[in-house]
Amino acid sequence: MTEAIRDIATRDPAAARGLTATLLPIMGVVFVAFLVIGVAMPVLPLHVHDGLDFGTFVVGVVAGSQFAASLVSRPWAGHFSDARGAKRGVVAGLLAAAVSGLLYLLSLGVSASPLLSVMILLAGRALLGGAESFIITAAVSWGLALAQANHAGKVIAWVGSAMFAAFAIGAPAGAALYAAHGFGAISLATTLAPLAVLPLVARLPAVAPAHHARASFVEVIGAVWVPGLGSALGSVGFGAVTTFVALLFATKGWANGWSAYTAYAVAFILARVFFSHLADRIGGAKVALVCAAVEAVGQALIWLAVRPEMALAGAALTGFGFSLVYPGFGVEAVRRVPAQSRGLAMGAYTAFLDLAQGLASPALGLIAAGAQLNLLFLVSSATVLCASLVAWWLIANPTTPNASTS
């Protein structure tokens, strides 16, 4: 009886307070945690390219190292969240993010030796990638455990919206900090912001980890690899914008390159506010099919841009499209695994996105080094369009939801 009461108290607050009230505190934690990534987005390429005097390939490597580290840590993050509890996973991620900021500061201390500085910066980015993996995997798992099973799409979309709201605010804030105080201010923000949110996490109710037998990582990969592939292809447009659009603005002599990040993030959030229910209502694959095409159009518009307004419109379309590509394929992934393995499933599913980013950022950097910078957005557009083909395959080959997911 005691265990049953505890299960109701920890797993059904959504029924008593509503989905929004349940998710808002978790979204707040994610928002603050991801400010540390948002503030670095528009300035890290400039710091590596202009401050340390490295080329676009190294810019891509530094940016991609975070996604590569996230890829490696996803299985660990998923297992940790399922076995030890999502709240502990979030705390571990926040502490790791703070340490990554200390490594940023250390890299500045040896900036007179650019090679050593960029190597330490790579280590900081890698640690931040692991931190991001723990935070977002555990936060989504936390939300899925608290919400009803038929709200999986909303949970994935809303928690992700908090992440991109942080990007929207973090991009101009990071640009302002960098202009006024240099990369040292970015490093301090990366160190202090995760620590500031720990008291909020401490007050939130934990969800007891499931004690049922959980699927192995290999089994989960086998269940989610097709929607994971779709998400990976769709994420290339996201990587192209976050890594290279500031350099595109700079090379074309356009001011306020950070505004492209904000346009992307605002469109991303608006899509999720008004359309996040569609994946649960009509099916994730159908949503992903349409939205991947919208994202591809956005990337093509950046490729063709002759004025900054065209690039901003392309960034907004990219954000709007990818906003629903990720939860669309995510719903298809979650419905294929039992409830007690959802943390691992989200880790495995998101690992495909990390793999795409870890490979795509350096590859797009090589394309930019050998041709005009805007050409990489054409390549990205064609890649994103392939995500629509994956969604079409999922529609044509539906899978019965796992009986244990409800």
Mean pLDDT of 286-292: 90
Nearest C-alpha neighbor of 241 from the set 323, 182, 178? 323
Q: Which of 334, 327, 297, 331 minimizes the C-alpha distance to 314?
A: 297
Give me the domains of the chain, ranges plus CATH numbers: 12-202+216-396 (1.20.1250.20)
**In the structure, what pLDDT confidence band is assigned to residue 14 with cuts at 50, 70 and 90?**
very low
Whether 54 and 118 have beta carbons less than 8 Å apart is answered as yes
**pLDDT value, residue 125:** 87
In this prediction, residue 13 carries a pLDDT of 45
Q: Is the pLDDT of residue 182 over 90?
A: no
Q: Which of 128-142, 149-163, 271-285 has the highest mean pLDDT?
A: 128-142
Contacts for 393-397: CB closer than 8 Å, 24+ residues apart: 393/226, 394/226, 394/227, 394/230, 394/284, 394/285, 394/288, 394/332, 395/283, 395/285, 395/286, 395/289
CB 38 within 8 A of CB 162: no
- 83 Cβ neighbours under 8 A, 6+ residues apart: 209, 214
- Confidence at 155, pLDDT banded by 50, 70, 90: confident
> Does residue 146 carry a pLDDT above 80?
no
The sign one gets for the Cα dihedral 176, 181, 183, 186 is: negative
Tell me the mean pLDDT in the region 118-143: 86
Q: pLDDT at residue 325 above 80?
A: yes
pLDDT at 228: 85
**Mean pLDDT, residues 332-359 taken together:** 73
Rg from Cα positions in the chain: 20
326's CB contacts (< 8 A; 6+ apart) are 156, 160, 231, 234, 235, 353
9 pLDDT higher than 60: no
As a whole number, the mean pLDDT across the chain is 79
Q: 115 CB contacts (<8 Å, ≥6 apart)? A: none
pLDDT at 94: 92
- pLDDT tens for each residue of 187-224: 898 899 899 888 888 887 777 666 555 566 677 777 78
Tens of pLDDT, residues 215-253 = 666 777 777 888 888 988 988 888 888 778 878 888 888
Q: Which residue has the tokens 């919208």?
A: 294
Q: What band does 403 get if pLDDT is binned at 50, 70 and 90?
A: very low
Query: What pLDDT does residue 341 have?
Result: 65
Please give the residue that has the higher pLDDT: either 186 or 209. 186
Rounded Cα distance, 379 and 180, in Å: 35
**pLDDT of res. 84:** 80
Backbone angles phi, psi at 87, to 5 degrees: -60, -45
pLDDT exceeds cutoff 50 at 392: yes
pLDDT at 2: 36
